[in-house]
Amino acid sequence: MAFKAIYQEHYRAILGTVSVLALIFLWELLLTFVIPLNPFFFTKPSLIAVAFQEQVIHGALWNDLAVSSRAFIWGFGLAILFGIPIGAVMGWRRRAEYTLDPFLTALYASPLVALAPLIIVVFGVGLFAKAMLVFLLSVFPFIFNTFAGVRSTDRLLINVVRSFGGHEKDLYLKVIFPSSLPYIVAGARIALGRGLVGIIVGEFYAASEGIGFAISRFGDTYKLPEMFAGILVLMIAAVALTEGMRKLEDILAPWRASQESR
């Protein structure tokens, strides 16, 4: 009885853990006893664990991670720096919206990643090209979410600030920014995913270091356990960042928890 109650309460966590463990065990057992393992084609969890230990805990992959993060932070930072003001102006000035909206929407809807080869040919394989790619992909969610956030600002609040003699600055800092913050954070989560795409494509395409480069190099040299370890690291990082962003979103705007567009 007690067991059943506990199960009812935590069934999601229990079943989730069970299914992950079951997959790992099945994978390991199948490739150990049933299917002969072809190391150039596939690998198994125990080998991945060894590679993971070697790459992550003993630090062979740290340098690659640091290189990727630096490019990512630069690109993402620039996206914030440009995206939020552009979005704010678009949301606040009707003519700015009319002027910029079709152009930016077209860019947002199109796969700008197609420009990657050109950017890399022009700017080289270093930090700059990758940061540029991240910027190009992640700036649009900031623009459009800030835009939506500013537009949804309560007119009443604005009128209150105005009637009490608040300056334009007060309007921006005390009303518009706080009320669009949840939107901006939601945009940041989308931008995050797109930025990661930028980093990976940049590093697959042409790089000499970085996590994407490491994964594709492991693939080229048939080091499958190492490759899976690299993928695992990237997955952990992506999940941590996304979930962190989601938590932030819940803190800033608990009433809009978990909207569409994941």
Partner 1 sequence: MNRLVNFYHDREHYLLGWGFILILLLAWEAIPRVAVLPRGLSLFFTTPTRVIEAFYQLIVENKIQHHFYVSSVEFLLGLALAIAVGLPLGLITGRSRTIDALVDSYVTVLNATPRLIFLPLFILWFGIGMWSKVMIVFIGAVFPLLINTHEGVKNIDRVLVDVVRSFGANEWQVLKTVALPNSVPYIVVGLRLAIGRAVLGVVVGEFFGASEGLGYMIASAATNYKVDVVFVGVAIFMGLSLILTMLVKNIETRLSRWRPEEIKTF
Nearest to 131 by CA among 188, 63, 210: 210
* 101 in contact with partner 1 (CB under 8 A): yes
- Biggest CA pair distance of the chain: 78
Nearest alpha-carbon partner for 140 in 94, 194, 70: 194
CA atoms within 13 A on the CB side of 261: 13
Please tell me the distance from the alpha carbon of residue 225 to that of residue 217, in angstroms, as a whole number: 12
Q: Which residues contact 252 (CB under 8 A, 6 or more apart)?
A: 181, 182, 185
Site for partner 1 contains 26 (CB under 8 A): no
- Is residue 154 involved in binding partner 1 (CB under 8 A)? no
Stretch that binds partner 1, among 64-72, 75-83, 144-152, 162-170 (CB under 8 A): 144-152
**Tokens representing residue 43 in the block:** 């690998």
Binding status of residue 239 toward partner 1 by CB under 8 A: yes
Q: Is residue 191 within a helix (H) or strand (E), and if so which, with residue range?
A: helix 177-205
For partner 1, the binding residue among 4, 12, 155, 169 (CB under 8 A) is 12
Q: Is 114 in the site for partner 1 (CB under 8 A)?
A: yes
Residue 81 C-beta: closest distance to partner 1, Å: 21
CB 198 within 8 A of CB 172: no
**How is residue 11 written in tokens?**
């069934």
Backbone angles phi, psi at 47, to 5 degrees: -70, -40
Q: Are the CB atoms for 192 and 241 separated by under 8 Å?
A: yes
- Of 24-32, 69-77, 109-117, 164-172: span binding partner 1 (CB under 8 A): 109-117
Looking at beta carbons only, is 135 or 140 nearer to partner 1? 140
- The answer to whether the CB of 183 falls within 8 A of the CB of 147 is no
Residue from 122, 160, 173, 251 that binds partner 1 (CB under 8 A)?
A: 122
Among 37, 56, 89, 115, binds partner 1 (CB under 8 A): 115
- Contact between 133 and partner 1 by CB under 8 A: the answer reads no
Q: Which of 81, 185, 193 is nearest to 134 (CA)?
A: 193
24 binds partner 1 (CB under 8 A): no
Q: How far is the CB of 197 from partner 1 (least distance, A)?
A: 5
Q: 176 vs 234, which CB is nearer to partner 1?
A: 234
Tokens of 18: 């069970």
Q: Is 144 in the site for partner 1 (CB under 8 A)?
A: yes
Window contacting partner 1 (CB under 8 A); options: 48-56, 68-76, 173-181, 193-201: 193-201
Can you give the binding site for partner 1, defined by CB under 8 A? 11-12, 14-16, 18-20, 41, 95, 98-103, 105-106, 108-111, 113-118, 120-122, 140-141, 144-145, 148, 183, 186-187, 190, 193, 196-197, 200-201, 204-205, 212, 215-216, 218-220, 222, 224, 227, 231, 234-235, 238-239, 241-243, 259-262
